[in-house]
Structure 1
Amino acid sequence: VLPELKLSGFVRSDMYVQRLRNYRALGGRLIGGTADGYSEGKYQNTENNYEFLAQYNKSFGDISLNVNAGANLLTQEYSSLSQSTAGGLVSPGWFNIAASVDRPNANGYLRKKQVRSMYAMASLGYKDIYFIDATIRNDISSALPSNNNSYVYPSVSGSVVFSELLKWKPLSFGKFRMSYAVAGSDLSAYEISPVYVAGTVYTGTPVINTQTLPSVLRNPNIEPSFANSFEVGTELKFLSNRVGIDFTYYNQLNENQIINLTVSPASGYGATVVNAGKIRNKGVELSLNAIPIKSNNFTWNAVLNLNKNNNMVEELHPDVKILTLGSNVYSNQTVFLYAEEGKEFGSIVGPGYAKDPSTGQILLDAADQPVRQLGVNFGSAIPDFTGGFRNTFQYKNIDF
């Protein structure tokens, strides 16, 4: 009925299985007060995608239309099962869980997540010069609360192949592009509900309790986070595609992020999960491509990439201006990695030397020793400039 319509279905599965066995014979160092022991474990991660896709492609003279619509079911499952002997082995060299002197330790874990998606994409072209593309996607995640588990994010882009309009011989190809996109994201499974952590299994020794509360207070009203990105760029190729330039400017705002917010220990928790924060990531990317040598059997291709990036923390939370991302201890001094409001993301803060704010010179005390100062900001751990240079040599069908 519609020869331009194509219907298809896909089933994709990705599985990773890891099996570990640990043998500890007599003669080694004591671990947990025992000289020998055995442990084994199986860890499995499975991801399945079930997808239905409808595609419609049609040309109306100089106008081309491509429309895709589909649905996808994503299932993720992670499971682990581990066992280990306790108190040593009843017979040295018998590496088996059944050889455990005391009751063996056993641990099991199962995590499941499901995301149901519907999406549509449309592309409209005119004379293979002007193009407009639009997408929309709706995800429903089992990891989010039932009242906030559905979120929609669109995108729109346009481009013009202006080399077809200029007809300038040295210019082999020229395109201008612009886009705006929103991307939504959720969190891992079981992050919205409090769960108990199992303690030591009863082995005849009296215990007070076998379960403990988690240290993070879960939020049953958490919402998905979004990244809003704007991008504009151009692609140029000259001299029969022997020289190319690709330039891109991007500006992305990550908002409503899901973070752990520190709370008073009197609450019984160390942190709570909230939606907060605005982090802006913007910069430019430049790629230069050249083919200095090209013959029937040999081609030399050189590519230079340059990137300038800036990550700024615009907003965190009304009650928090500094968020600790991590810390480490060097020579009995603690160095922190911060996300601080109004500063670059990933600030390295730690002890340093006090300096004169007007000259930048290190201050000295009465004994001519540098004055130490806490909380010195050494800048961001994220590089604001990166680059690379790559050469590819092809001889017949062999690449170097």
Structure 2
Amino acid sequence: MDTAGKPITCKAAVLWEFNKPLSFETIEVAPPKAGEVRIKVVANSTCHSDLHVIDGALWEKRMQCPLILGHEGAGIVESVGEGVTEVQAGDHVIPLWNPQCRECENCKSNKTNVCSKLRDTQNAGLMPDKTTRFTCNGKTVYHFMGCSTFSEYTVVSDLSICKINPEAPLDKVCVIGCGISTGYGAAINSAKVTEGSSCAVFGLGAVGLSAVMGCKAAGAKTIIAIDINPDKAEIAKKLGATDFMNPKDLGQIPIEGVILQQTGGRGIDFTFECIGNAATMKSAFYSCHNAWGVCTIVGVTPPTQELSIITLAIVAGRKLQGSVFGGYKGKDDVPKLVEQYMNKELNIDDFISQNIKLEEVNEAFDTMRQGKLARSVVKFE
């Protein structure tokens, strides 16, 4: 049946209230307007950013419920709105929570990958025209990060989508939509890890493990993987870590103290914080080489959390920087990452712990809270 130009009724996971489980509802998805694309979502993986929103730890004051989470998805274009030329019905695509308009000052610069075009409406859970395309039982439902892929169908701006190789398995490459690109690119693009260098990665979720993989790809000689879960050691070493540290095994000595002891007081060339915790960020920073170390912050904290460091630790030469989406420009670079996977140059399979149904996503987030799984992939039937 031709659905173009018509509302579609489908299943979605809806967050009605912060600190409550997702509810599985039948929703209505409106047709795309001008400059928009409606996607049949084939697969979507779970991410800590989704979990933080559920738990009320991120963005609660600027987000509105009900909303549909999900931003690590992949699917097939169902229909397009007026003026859309880059994709058409039937194309295989990955939605981009970090859009690329190619027109704003940021997009035209090689200094950043953060497009400024949709920021205000996207943060408010709205489409560019300040409305939404979702309703449930007659109530407006808001979008999340311009994607909302915990739904069988979603609508995104044509700035927030990229066309990919139709041969790529969508239930694998969906993870490129955030986790793998964010960590891998932090090492390759943001920090620019050098061959023969030393690296330390704090936090071994999917982002941290991807950073480990990126450090290896860049040719780092020493890669210290750090996590309080000893079960992460095996996968970290499989992806390239040379050493594993569990801060709980160090007694009263802080992790940065141990690292400085082991490096003769100098520190590590490149460190990465992939958790989103101010205390861990301080540890990552003070673990840096005291003259040229680069600390890259990848983890996202609650908006009011502050980071306090000693200014003299910077004057000597340490650098503190952030990284968004691994420094990748979505439309230009995500299709290339898909090709890297297809050419067996990028490991994705080891990041996927299980395939689940949409109705099992609350349980998947519970295991993520416990630190047991990297990514669970929802496969829509």
Higher helix share: 2
Instruction: Report 1 or 2 for greater relative contact order, CA contacts < 8 Å, sequence distance ≥ 6.
Output: 2
Higher strand share: 1
TM-score of the superposed pair, with normalisation by structure 2: 0.21
Q: Which has the higher Rg, Structure 1 or Structure 2?
A: 1
TM-score of the superposed pair, with normalisation by structure 1: 0.21
